[in-house]
Copies of this chain bind each other. A is one copy, B any other.
Amino acid sequence: MQLTGKNHIGFQLTAHSKKEFKCFSSVTQEELPTRYFEASKAEVDQALKLAERGFKNYKQLSPNDRARLLDQIALEIDNLGETLIKQAQLETGLPESRLVGERSRTTGQLRFFAQHIREGSWVEATIDTANTARHPVPKPDIRSLLGPIGPVVVFSASNFPLAFSVAGGDTASALAAGNSVVVKAHAAHAGTSELVAHAITAAIKKCNLPEGIFSLIHGSSFEPGEQLVLHPSTRAVGFTGSLSGGRALMDLAQKREQPIPVFAEMGSTNPVFILEHALKSKPQALAKQLAGSVTLGVGQFCTKPGLIILMESQEAQVFESAFIDEINAISSAPMLHKGIANSFDNAVTKTLAVSGVAEISRSTDNRDAQQVMGRPILAKVSAEAFLDTPLLHEEVFGPYSLVVTCKTQADFERIANALQGQLTVTILGQGHDLANYQSLIEVINEKAGRLIYNGVPTGIEVCNAMHHGGPYPAASDARFTSVGLKAIKRFAKPVAYQNWPDHLLPQELQNANPLKILRLVDDIYTSDSISD
C-alpha cells in the first residue's frame, strides 16, 4: 500500500494546503520520504460537516450494526498485516513484538466494545412506570437511557501508535456509543495513522455505511487541532498526552460559545510506596520488578513509576544498590521521536540541578551518539527536599525514576498528602505493613484513579472494572476512564422520555425489552419485559 500523505475527509483523500511535513525515523535516524499535508481550514471544516451528517445516519443504526462496523475495522487492521507493523516500527522505534502486542490490544478493544454494545446493558435503561391513580398528581411514565452525543474529535497519542491512536480506545468507544469521529493524527506516526485510516474507511464501505462517520486530519502545527476543538459541530474531545497539551485543549473548549467536555489523560508520576516488611523481605526482587517497570517501553508510559518512596534503612541500601545494578544493566533504546527525547533530556537536567537531588545510576551506553536514545536514569532525594520542591512532583516522561527516602512513617503520609492527582498509586507491602499504614492508605484513596497492591502500575488491563484516569492533573475529569469498557460513558448522554408512545421509544426502553438488556424498572434490576 502506497502512502499518500493526504487527509481522509470522509471518503476523499485531500491535500489542499501547502503546509507539508515528514516523519523522522528513530530507527534510521533519517526523515522518511512521504510528505504529509497539514489540513487546511476548509478541510477541517469539511471533515466536521461530514461528521455531523455522518452522525445523523450512524446514530440510527442498531447496536448490532454498530458492532458489525467495529468488528470489521478490527479485521481490516489485521489485514494490514506486516505493512502496519513495519511502518509503525520505522516511525516510532518500538520493537516488533511490542507493536504486535499493541495491535492485538487495539483490535481486541474494538471487538470488546462490539461485544459490549451487543450485550447492550451499558445504556443504563431506567424505567419508572406511570401511576395514574396517584394523588394529588398522577405519576407520569418516565424512561431514560444513554445515547450518543455527536461528532467526537480524537487526538492521537504518540506513545501508543495503535492502541491510543487512530483506531484506539477513544475512537472505539466513541463509535461504539454511536458517534462519528474525526481523528487528529499524531505527526510522529502519520504513516501508521494513514494505514489505519484506510482500514477504517474500508470497513465503513464494506458495511455499506455513508461517509462522514470517520475522518483523519494531518497536521504538525497546533492550528488544525485548535480548529477541531473550536468547531461548532464538535461535541467532545478525547486526548492522551502531556499536561500542557491537555490543559490547552481544556481551556480552548471552555472558551467556546458552547463549551464541550475534553477528556484528557495527561500522565502521572505513579508513586510506589515500599513498606517496611516488604522492603525487608525481598529488596532484590522488588528492585528487579521496579527496574523493569521504569524502563518498559523506554519509560514512555503514562503509568511509569516515577517516584519510589521508602524508609531509610539497611534494607533500603540493599534495595538501592540492586535497583542501580538493574538499571545499569538495561540498555538505552530509541525514544519515540526527537521531541520526546529532548523533553526527557531537559526534564532530567532540570531535576538533577535541584539541590538535594543526587543521580545514583546511569546506564553505561553512550547517549550522545544517537540523539533520540533514552538512557535509564535513577535519582535520589530526601523526603524533606521532595516536599519542598514542586518541580520534583512533575512527571518526567522517559526511563527515569526518583527514589525518595523517608525517616519516619509520618514522612510517608506527608508525601502522600502532598501528591498531585495520580493515575495510579502502588503499595508494596507484606505482613503487618497494611495494618501499620492505614492512614497512608486512606490518603492515597483520594489521590489516584487506581490503587495497586504488590504489582507495578505499567500494564493496563482492558476490562469492565479498569479505571484509567484520576484527579487533575492526571486527567481532566476524575469521573471518567480512557481505558476499559466504561470509556464509552464519556461519549454518551442521557435522554428521558415522558409518556412517550412505546413503539417510538428506543428498543432499549420498549415494554417488550426486545434486546433483553438489564434495566432498572420501578426500582428493580431486571431483564424482564413489562406487561402492557
Contacts and interface: CB of A to CB of B under 8 A. Distances in A.
Interface of A: 56, 60, 119, 121, 126-128, 137, 139-140, 142-144, 147, 149-150, 250-251, 254, 258-259, 261, 421, 434, 441-442, 445-446, 448-455, 459, 461, 463-467, 469, 471-473, 476-479, 481, 486, 489, 492-501, 504, 518, 520, 523, 525
A139 B434 CA distance: 23
Nearest to A481: B494
A498 B451 contact: yes
A501 B465 contact: no
A262 to B, nearest CB: 10
A409 to B, nearest CB: 18
Contact of A140 (B127, B139, B455, B486): B455
Given A254-B251, A446-B150, A466 B496 contact: yes
Contacts of A452: 498-500
A130 to B, nearest CB: 10
Q: With a 10 A CB-CB cut-off, give which of A142, A486, A496 has the most chain B CB atoms.
A: A496
B494 A453 contact: no
User: This chain: how many copies in the complex?
Assistant: 2
A485 B128 CA distance: 12
A520 B472 CA distance: 27
Q: List 10 tightest A-B contacts by C-beta distance, closest first.
A: A467-B496, A126-B465, A128-B463, A254-B254, A142-B465, A450-B496, A452-B498, A478-B493, A144-B465, A467-B494
Contacts of A60: 442
B449 A494 contact: yes
7 contacts: A128-B464, A137-B459, A143-B465, A144-B465, A149-B478, A258-B471, A453-B499
Nearest to A523: B464
A299 B375 CA distance: 68
A465 B128 contact: yes
B525 A518 contact: yes
Nearest to A435: B504
A477 B261 contact: yes
A493 B139 CA distance: 32
Contact of A453 (B126, B127, B445, B500): B500
A473 B142 contact: no
A498 B450 contact: yes
Nearest to A443: B56
Given A465-B126, A465-B144, A504-B441, A479 B459 contact: no
Nearest to A147: B445
B261 A250 contact: no
Given A254-B250, A486-B494, A465 B499 contact: no
Contacts of A479: 149, 261, 489, 492-494
Given A461-B142, A518-B525, A449 B258 contact: no
A522 to B, nearest CB: 8
A467 B441 CA distance: 36
A495 B142 contact: no
Contacts of A492: 479
A459 B140 CA distance: 10
Nearest to A116: B523
A434 B504 contact: yes
A495 B450 contact: yes
Contact of A451 (B421, B467, B477, B496): B496
Q: Counting chain B CB atoms within 10 Å of each CB, which of A127, A250, A498, A518 scores highest?
A: A498
B525 A121 contact: yes
Nearest to A463: B128
B495 A449 contact: yes
Nearest to A445: B495
B525 A453 contact: no
Contact of A142 (B147, B434, B466, B518): B466
Nearest to A457: B498
Contact of A259 (B258, B472, B497, B499): B472
Which residue among A127, A446, A450, A494 has the maximum number of chain B CB atoms within 10 Å of its CB? A494
A495 B250 contact: no
A143 to B, nearest CB: 5
Nearest to A127: B465
Contacts of A137: 459
A449 B250 contact: no
A481 to B, nearest CB: 7
